[in-house]
Structure 1
């Protein structure tokens, strides 16, 4: 159970992970409890692994286990809204975009205890001799325009959710994780642990299981046989083909502040060490605007190499929003100016592609022979988006794991950039989806469906020189829930190439959530006659993210990276452009203000602040984390702010930002906040970014 700093219906997640070969079944339980007096409609958005499929869904309401159904989206929404209007408990799960879902539970009354149980099927990835699993648990604020039905979701400094997990891994040893683990039985591959919902669960382990796999399952009366294969190219086809031509595209938007930017800079410095003098490279940083180091790629040698290293060391998350489309268009132009080449994108991927402009651009890149390789940075990076962009152009993606040697991870990606472009060739079946490219050092999946599958599969891998290496796979037939998982994973891939009408029929046949279908459940009994208040459940801040406005940013790199958008002279302070995640006004609705009662410590702290109001100036000058605790500030929040303080954030800034968040998320007026704000405005070296934040989120004139 979690000890939340505010009253949130979400209590915790629980996970039981089972693996069979390269298939993973994640049994996730999300537990909610409503302790308030009035009925609510809770809304919670959550991520799932890239290419994963929701296999089974059940709901337990006050110890009663219920099952719903997948319907066409408009029918599911109508059924949910009718149940909501009639005072019945109603539940709706919608796919907002690939790997991103919205749960709505309406007419939740006082004392309701609700658990959403999901079985999620996904594929493990084999890389560098280890099997890898990643379960995202936290979302960041996404830049751009969300789909109209997706309610604004935010992150709160006060959110604190528990995460319990049990891992039952087939033939696994030498397990590494980014969260606490204890082995239950030394003779079995079973582990357990507890953490928080502030970062993905990342696991890697060794196993005797070979990466070259072909999993199959027999057909049913109305579903043909299905198969998923993993291809792992032999090393003799993967020798480097020469020099790389690379446009290095780095996200410097505000959401990259903190751990993501630190990871990006460290990773890029490691990557530079793997470049040869014959490699051609250029650097483009982007946010609301784009800034290129040069108009084309240059050999990584001499003065340019020094300039590039200095530019990477000077990178800051100070360019506002995440205008990725504009940045990719510039990188595309620079690549063509350099005679072709590839783009290596480093980003947290926290943006919407609701207008499909990025999808259209990747088609252009592929036709021009420009591959896009992506590196996901930070704990809330959007793996589905980054993987989709890379795969569409024949590139590859990497979710950077700071708990595994980053130099090794990036070395492999650089080698893939240099290696010849490899193609998988298989005989045609009734339906199959082959990868646009395969790479050394990691597995790539292909999907097939036919009335009958052969006992073994033969194919080839080819390189640009026309060399063909024969490949063979032996059929491994699955049964039970793993066979069902395989069918649904294949069907999900079929949805991507089907027409809207065909996709809806296929999703309904397999009971899949998709852009055309949703899951709905409505109980029969009426539980309330009152109108439910909508409560959007905020996520925790991602571990290592920075929830405040950026610290002072000096244009010290103006001599290195010039831009018509960079108007400040060296040494002059630049205002931050990105609104801090947990202070963004679009994550705070009138409904959520009424539904988030403040904890008891707030009243005590405000009383203590009021007593100090006549001496507010002195109080802020002397403010420290110990003072906050003595005032009644929760110790776990003080520790969080202390970590931010170590990153050079002024304590008064942090403290006032917390008070702003409290006032914005509640219906009460924070005592003497105006006086505190006015005092902060008098602190010359701090006032600009703080006041700009207040103005941007509409809390101050």
Structure 2
């Protein structure tokens, strides 16, 4: 049994005691800078050689790392990778202590830094800064999570179960304190800040309520993750935030110029969003190459990627609307399809497809995606059934550019939604497919469940497409704009887009610029005009600059991948230059830290410890949990998830049949279900009411996964004219209190 630790570790991988953590969060509209200071103390009677291990949210960018050990300060600087490696070797050979901090090829979200020899009784303080875009929740809140993984989890007695996951510890056992303060500023008023932990009251800094501070209530024991939700008034109004350049950087450079961030989070009229949802030709393309047989790397060790994909296809197929068309392709070195061409969605076709999906294995060899895609896109389109292609893959392909160009060439006839499964999926491929196909890309890594992400994409696919998106700038003479973000090709309900742009030059008289965003939805033209100041206040940090730099670095890295082998050194040089200038990590640079100390060489061998493998770290969304791994019996088939059990029984029309399998799925005997049915209610209506009450009563956590198929069931029920005693009897039988309106009846 082994537990993976984070924080400051000695050479035996044991934790050095953490005394206190101070975290400052600076939120600017939709983005944030996180500054964590961790204070440690060596309570042993001998000096400690230590390494700091820190997991980060996958999309965070590190921009500062330093350690204060006793009287010595070590600051990590960003340098070109090869240069950093040479400097590291030189430092070691001259007896200085050094450490190299690199983004690991496998996982850019785990960093390690050696923090030197810590004498007995001495303290070490580590400061880490990173920038991040905050995720938008379904209720329009912006979410930040501070994971409680900086100390090892305490193993309570008797917890050695199969794959036990210890996610929280008794507060009395957490030996360190946490202070956590937040400053929020936005062009729109801040309506509230909520947390999973108790907060002191929100303090507004100005009368417009566009700036506020909030702190964690005193005495908080850091025994669970701290989750913070920030809500703005007029959440869907676009905003423009301009951040002043760095005084020490030269004008004309990215860090020296002001950078603007435009946030778009459109809300589309309900009438439009609900009207067109019952059409479409849904073509699902599933990777069945050998690597899909690997574990998905979450807590359920025996669940493979292909098994997770099969469960996902079940949910997806059950959620499709009556009246649409569908087909399923799978590929490896060759490809197969279930039907010669897309068929109408009916009970018979659905049954046949699900039978075939159930037997799909990861047994088709390599990852050759071009042929099946070419075949799909060459099929004649069905009139009034817009084609939606869903691509699931865990690999990289050698002809990424060709695949993306094919999607681009056919973008007028389809939308492409892509899913990258596992750490090895190519982001250039996944993002490229969605961008050129006017769809949406999702990455499923660590402990992320595939199902909710795929169902979110299905919701997007059922929405009408936003077309003719344009962003135009109106700036005074002497000021020019360089957009750092890739162009927006699709906008979806509930999805937020951020555009970063560098503003170069000075205008003598005008202090204001303007940006206009236009798009068209179902024939209705929308336009938003935003004015912004060209002379922003000086003292507002560099969050927007650093995220702008990170966005540009990511685009350039993708471009460099595509040109690899074509001797385009210019792109890599640009990445290095940007990374060094902005202090934001990239794949071509490394943080190098040299402890020059007091000039005396450090004696004894310096051990460079390996990074703990990310496979042992379970990730939930963007917060990490440590997991305990244990040997499990692989021969037993895991029992089927009760939700999927119920879903598998639903008919294409949306209803359920009254039979022993349904009774078992809702946890009752066949007799109980038969005997409690009110006489005025027919069997299918009764079965469907029970299934819906069970979903609302026991599966609310998984609502994103079953919401669409429940809507289909509700539409079916509406057409049946349900007597009200059906709901009462159903609630009584299942011990629930689900109201009719909660189900949408």
TM-score, reference length from structure 2: 0.57
| Secondary structure, aligned partner of 1:336 | helix
Which residue of structure 2 lines up, in the alignment, with residue 225 of structure 1? Answer: 258
1:415 aligns with 2:468: no
Q: Deviation at 1:66? A: 3.8
Q: Deviation at 1:114? A: 4.6
Structure 1, unmatched stretches of 5+, are 140-154, 558-701
Q: Deviation at 1:204? A: 4.7
Q: Deviation at 1:372? A: 4.3
1:276 aligns with one of 293, 318, 321: 321
Q: Deviation at 1:427? A: 2.3
Alpha-carbon distance between aligned partners in 1 of 2:71 and 2:334, rounded to the nearest angstrom: 53
Which residue of structure 2 lines up, in the alignment, with residue 570 of structure 1? Answer: none
Q: Deviation at 1:189? A: 4.8
Residues 50 and 118 of structure 2 are in contact (CA less than 8 Å); yes or no, is this contact kept in structure 1?
no
1:214 aligns with one of 236, 240, 255: 240
Residues 343 and 372 of structure 1 are in contact (CA less than 8 Å); yes or no, is this contact kept in structure 2?
yes
Which residue of structure 1 lines up, in the alignment, with residue 607 of structure 2? Answer: 533
Which residue of structure 2 lines up, in the alignment, with residue 72 of structure 1? Answer: 80
Residues 25 and 183 of structure 2 are in contact (CA less than 8 Å); yes or no, is this contact kept in structure 1?
yes
Residues 79 and 590 of structure 2 are in contact (CA less than 8 Å); yes or no, is this contact kept in structure 1?
yes
Query: How do 1:100-139 residues align onto structure 2 when only pairs under 5 Å count?
Result: 100=109, 102-105=111-114, 108=117, 114-133=124-143
Q: Deviation at 1:26? A: 1.9
Residues 9 and 33 of structure 1 are in contact (CA less than 8 Å); yes or no, is this contact kept in structure 2?
no
Alpha-carbon distance between aligned partners in 2 of 1:529 and 1:267, rounded to the nearest angstrom: 57
Structure 2, unmatched stretches of 5+, are 150-162, 185-189, 204-212, 382-386, 474-479, 557-569, 619-624, 641-745
Alpha-carbon distance between aligned partners in 1 of 2:501 and 2:440, rounded to the nearest angstrom: 21
1:304 aligns with 2:387: no
Q: Deviation at 1:513? A: 2.1
**Cα distance 1:133–1:11, how it changes in 2: closer, same or farther (>3 A)?**
farther
**Cα distance 1:49–1:360, how it changes in 2: closer, same or farther (>3 A)?**
farther
Residues 288 and 319 of structure 1 are in contact (CA less than 8 Å); yes or no, is this contact kept in structure 2?
no
Residues 271 and 414 of structure 1 are in contact (CA less than 8 Å); yes or no, is this contact kept in structure 2?
yes
Residues 14 and 29 of structure 1 are in contact (CA less than 8 Å); yes or no, is this contact kept in structure 2?
yes
Alpha-carbon distance between aligned partners in 1 of 2:93 and 2:446, rounded to the nearest angstrom: 48
Alpha-carbon distance between aligned partners in 2 of 1:8 and 1:520, rounded to the nearest angstrom: 24
Which residue of structure 2 lines up, in the alignment, with residue 427 of structure 1? Answer: 472
Alpha-carbon distance between aligned partners in 2 of 1:181 and 1:529, rounded to the nearest angstrom: 46
2:377 aligns with one of 336, 350, 355: 336
Alpha-carbon distance between aligned partners in 1 of 2:460 and 2:521, rounded to the nearest angstrom: 14
Which residue of structure 1 lines up, in the alignment, with residue 182 of structure 2? Answer: 168
Residues 31 and 115 of structure 1 are in contact (CA less than 8 Å); yes or no, is this contact kept in structure 2?
yes
1:87 aligns with one of 82, 95, 98: 95
Alpha-carbon distance between aligned partners in 1 of 2:221 and 2:352, rounded to the nearest angstrom: 45
1:471 aligns with 2:471: no
When structure 1 is superposed on structure 2, of 401-410 and 63-72 the one drifting more is 401-410
Q: Deviation at 1:227? A: 0.7
Query: How do 1:458-537 residues align onto structure 2 when only pairs under 5 Å count?
Result: 458-463=515-520, 468-475=525-532, 479=537, 482-495=540-553, 496-497=555-556, 499-525=571-597, 526=600, 528-537=602-611
**Cα distance 1:403–1:548, how it changes in 2: closer, same or farther (>3 A)?**
closer
Alpha-carbon distance between aligned partners in 2 of 1:359 and 1:101, rounded to the nearest angstrom: 29
Alpha-carbon distance between aligned partners in 2 of 1:389 and 1:114, rounded to the nearest angstrom: 44
1:243 aligns with 2:280: yes
**Cα distance 1:76–1:555, how it changes in 2: closer, same or farther (>3 A)?**
closer
Alpha-carbon distance between aligned partners in 2 of 1:270 and 1:73, rounded to the nearest angstrom: 45
1:182 aligns with 2:198: yes
Which residue of structure 2 lines up, in the alignment, with residue 630 of structure 1? Answer: none
Q: Deviations over 1:255-313 (max 9, x none)?
A: 3565577986776555444311333334467899987655654433222212444566x
**Cα distance 1:286–1:62, how it changes in 2: closer, same or farther (>3 A)?**
farther
**Cα distance 1:336–1:436, how it changes in 2: closer, same or farther (>3 A)?**
same
Alpha-carbon distance between aligned partners in 2 of 1:293 and 1:30, rounded to the nearest angstrom: 56
Alpha-carbon distance between aligned partners in 2 of 1:76 and 1:374, rounded to the nearest angstrom: 36
Residues 298 and 447 of structure 2 are in contact (CA less than 8 Å); yes or no, is this contact kept in structure 1?
no
Q: Deviations over 1:330-388 (max 9, x none)?
A: 662563365574443567x6x7x6x876576445433443654345789x899978974
| Secondary structure, aligned partner of 1:535 | coil
Query: How do 1:376-391 residues align onto structure 2 when only pairs under 5 Å count?
Result: 388=431
1:366 aligns with 2:429: no
Which residue of structure 2 lines up, in the alignment, with residue 396 of structure 1? Answer: 440
**Cα distance 1:531–1:400, how it changes in 2: closer, same or farther (>3 A)?**
closer
Q: Deviation at 1:407? A: 8.8
When structure 1 is superposed on structure 2, of 229-238 and 486-495 the one drifting more is 229-238
Alpha-carbon distance between aligned partners in 1 of 2:537 and 2:429, rounded to the nearest angstrom: 32
Q: CA RMSD, aligned part only? A: 5.3
Alpha-carbon distance between aligned partners in 1 of 2:215 and 2:113, rounded to the nearest angstrom: 34
Alpha-carbon distance between aligned partners in 1 of 2:227 and 2:148, rounded to the nearest angstrom: 13
When structure 1 is superposed on structure 2, of 258-267 and 480-489 the one drifting more is 258-267
Alpha-carbon distance between aligned partners in 2 of 1:335 and 1:553, rounded to the nearest angstrom: 38
Q: Deviation at 1:470? A: 1.7
Query: How do 1:151-166 residues align onto structure 2 when only pairs under 5 Å count?
Result: 166=180
Alpha-carbon distance between aligned partners in 1 of 2:232 and 2:199, rounded to the nearest angstrom: 16
Alpha-carbon distance between aligned partners in 2 of 1:71 and 1:53, rounded to the nearest angstrom: 15
Q: Deviation at 1:424? A: 2.7
Q: Deviation at 1:113? A: 5.6
Q: Deviation at 1:457? A: 2.8
Alpha-carbon distance between aligned partners in 2 of 1:204 and 1:403, rounded to the nearest angstrom: 22
| Secondary structure, aligned partner of 2:62 | strand
Higher relative contact order (CA 8 A, sep 6+): 1
**Cα distance 1:288–1:532, how it changes in 2: closer, same or farther (>3 A)?**
farther
Q: Deviation at 1:48? A: 3.5
Alpha-carbon distance between aligned partners in 2 of 1:554 and 1:291, rounded to the nearest angstrom: 27
Size of the alignment, in residue pairs? 527
